[in-house]
Every structure is written in C-alpha cells, then in structure tokens.
Amino acid sequence: MSEYDRTDAGIYDSYSTGLEGDEAFYVEEAARADGPVLEIGCGTGRITIPIAESGTSIVGLDRAPAMLDVARRKIDALPDDTQRRIQIVEGDMRTFSLERRFPLAIIPYRAFLHMMTPDDQRRALTRIREHLTEQGRLVFNIFDPSIEIIAAYMSRPSGTINYMESIVHPETGRRVMVSDTRRYDPLEQTLEEHRFFEEVDDEGRVLSKTATPLHLRYVHRFEMQYLLEVCGYEVEALYGDFRRGPFRHGHEQVWVARRV
C-alpha cells in the first residue's frame, strides 16, 4: 500500500493538528504576498482554508486523492465567496504544470520531506521555482533531525511499537488508539514509519484496525541551504519556529527563500 492511498484520511485531522503557530504563520505570509498563493502538499486543507478565509486566493496541490476528497468536502461547506478563492489540484510536486505563476509558494507541515532522493528534491524545487513570479518567494518548514532522538530510536529493538495518543473518531465517536513503529537509516537519512489505528468500544474491544505507511527523507540545515542555492533561490531567512525565533538544532527549519 502506498502512503498516498491514505487509509487514515477520514481521521487525519483528528490526530494531525499541525505545529504550534504554523497556521497563523502561513496566513501572515500569504497576506504579505499580495497575490494568489500556491500551496504544495495541501492535504485536507488545514492551511488552505484559513488562507482563503483571510481573503487570499490559493491553489492547493497534493498527490493523495483521499486527502483531497476530505479537503473538497470541507470546502463545500464554506461560504461561496471563500470557495471561489480556492482551487484544488491533484498533482506531484516534481512534475506538476499549472501554466501560471505565483508570488508565493508554500510547503507546510514538512511535506517537502516526502522527496526521497536528492534528484526528487532538486526536481521539486526546480518545478516550484518555474511557477514563481520574478522575485517570488518559497516558504516552507521541515523538522531539523535530532541526533539524540534518532539514536534513541535506533537503540530500541526492531519493530518496537510506540503508543502515541488516543483520539475520538469524527464519524463514530468511538475511541481510536494511535501507535507507530519507526526505523531511522542515518546513512540514507530516511525515516520509515508505520502508523496504526485501533478503534475500540466502551469495553476496550478492538472493532477495527487500520495502518498507513510514511516514508520521509530528512534534510540537515546546510544541506537544505545548498539545495535551495543550486536550484535558483536566495535564502532570506531561516527561523527555528513559527514566531520567527532563531534556528535551534533538533527543532524546526522554517525557510524563506526568493527566486533569483
């Protein structure tokens, strides 16, 4: 099963709520852009919709049909004027072609890390650059790999299940237990995660089980800076959080780069 099949799409918003301050940060960046925004990896529209509600037109692109189905249902419930500011497109960040340019492209919630090879990374950055206006900006965030966290996971027996949280299923109202397994490969800079969802009744009996894979390639700070430079960008800022604080190892890389 591909991670883009997203068997968890129906409950995704219940457990994947973003990072502290990221929604407000991207809404602010969109307001500064003075024009339509291109969002790469829009998923269920968690960032897309607030940007449109703030008055900015936005095109959301993603390659996971199930996630886009959720986004479209949410958009259908919005006022007509907000709906008119949103366009949803199914596509791959490495190969999409919209035949228009944007003053701002964003890649929220670490979606760039789905690029699993250096060639994928360069292709995506180049394709996005081709959709930017002159001096257009690219704003995105990825996690900064923590050597300590990676070492801790690698010291555990293979297949160790980590309990994450309990959520309420948005349709059935039942409790869903969320857990995962993780395997880091520091040589390839990859993370392979399998996330498990067990829906249980009031007595704790498991009624259904769902699993979804996740494959990411993490990127170190100066590696990311070099990728941007060789793909035709000038770095304007690197923040460590969505309050525009300084970069700190093991936290977040929040990049602002301009097409040159």
Local confidence pLDDT in tens for the 260 residues of the chain: 566 667 789 999 999 999 999 999 999 999 999 889 999 999 999 999 999 999 999 999 999 999 999 999 999 999 999 999 999 999 999 999 999 999 999 999 999 999 999 999 999 999 999 999 999 999 999 999 999 999 999 999 989 999 999 999 999 999 999 999 999 999 999 999 999 999 999 999 999 999 999 999 999 999 999 999 999 999 999 999 999 999 999 999 999 999 99
Q: What are phi and psi of 118, to 5 degrees?
A: -60, -35
pLDDT of residue 89: 98
Q: Between 3.60.21, 2.60.120, 2.20.25, 1.25.40, what CATH number should domain 147-217 receive?
A: 2.20.25
Let me know: does 124 contact 81? Beta carbons within 8 Å: no
pLDDT of residue 49: 98
CATH dotted code for 3-144+219-259: 3.40.50.150
CA–CA dist 251, 127 (Å, integer): 27
User: Whose CA is closest to 8, among 176, 204, 207, 216?
Assistant: 176
E strand or H helix that includes residue 206: strand 206-217
Amino acid, res. 107: I
CA–CA dist 46, 87 (Å, integer): 14
CA–CA dist 26, 45 (Å, integer): 13
CA–CA dist 60, 93 (Å, integer): 11
**What are the sequence ranges of the domains in the chain?**
3-144+219-259, 147-217
Instruction: Note the pTM of the prediction, 2 decimals.
Output: 0.96
CA–CA dist 21, 139 (Å, integer): 15
pLDDT of residue 5: 64
- Per 3-state DSSP, the chain is made up of helix, strand and coil in percentages (nearest 5) of 30, 35, 35
pLDDT of residue 3: 66
Let me know: does 176 contact 166? Beta carbons within 8 Å: yes
